[in-house]
Amino acid sequence: MESLNINGKTLRLTIQRKPIRNLILRLKSPDELLVSAPYACSNAEVLRFIETKRSWIAAHAEKLARQQTRQAEAAAAGKIMVYGKPVQLQWVIGRGKARLLPDRLVLYGPDTQPETKQRAFDQFAKNSLEAEVERLRPRWDQVVTDYHLALPSIHYRRMTSRWGSCIPAKSKITLNLKLVHYPLACVDSVLWHEYAHLIVPNHSQRFYSVILHHMPDYEVRKALLNGDL
């Protein structure tokens, strides 16, 4: 692992060689940069590529740092992030429908046990994500329809190591309930990533070409999710 200086800030640099044609740059955290490069690409070529992206790296490292700071401040204040915004979590003993207000999320349950609260939050996350995805999916439905592919069923559950998954043979997509904590632009990027697997069922260069063709700022959106599973 090497390091580089971007606007006075030191970033750790990791270069991974893969069977791809183009260089792909990604911020794993505000101080760690990952570059995927073709096997034939030299380190000197990678560094020249990074030089052309200095402004992008600096801007998005700062953006990612702000996102992480907001999350830490929200946690310290007893708040949670819902679609990228900090809100107070209000727990009410009794029966009622979860309500997301501008400054707080109101959840209901029969007691204050941690598992009861987790179930209530997960149900809110599922219902809320379902509603948002129904609004987002028509764009991606049209793309897969243009490829003469079946529209997918979309499912939701709490996942520990990925934001989503796709089984192309079954036209089935599963999304992580934790996405409810992140901006809708991030939710949309994960949704599109899984839709794209219906078209290209691997992570080849063609897959990323399809991704970027329909979502040019995909890497920017993805950066907001890095390191937070």
User: Domain segments of the chain: what residues?
Assistant: 1-76, 123-229
pLDDT in tens, 117-168: 999 999 999 999 999 999 999 999 999 999 999 999 999 999 876 899 999 9
3-state SS, residue 226 = coil
> Which residues are bridge partners to 5 per DSSP?
10
Q: Which two tokens stand for residue 229?
A: 């599973």
Closest CA to 77 of 89, 66, 94, 65: 89
pLDDT in tens, 66-104: 777 766 665 566 688 999 999 999 999 999 999 999 999
Burial 164-176 (b: 16+ CB within 10 A, else e): bbbebeeeebbbb
pTM: 0.70
Neighbours of 188 (CB within 10 A): 21
- Cβ contacts of residue 76 below 8 Å, gap of 6+? none
How many angstroms from the chain centroid is the CA of residue 96?
Answer: 30
pLDDT at res. 75: 59
Question: In this structure, which CATH number among 3.20.20.150, 3.30.360.10, 3.50.50.60, 3.30.2010.10 belongs to the domain 123-229?
Answer: 3.30.2010.10
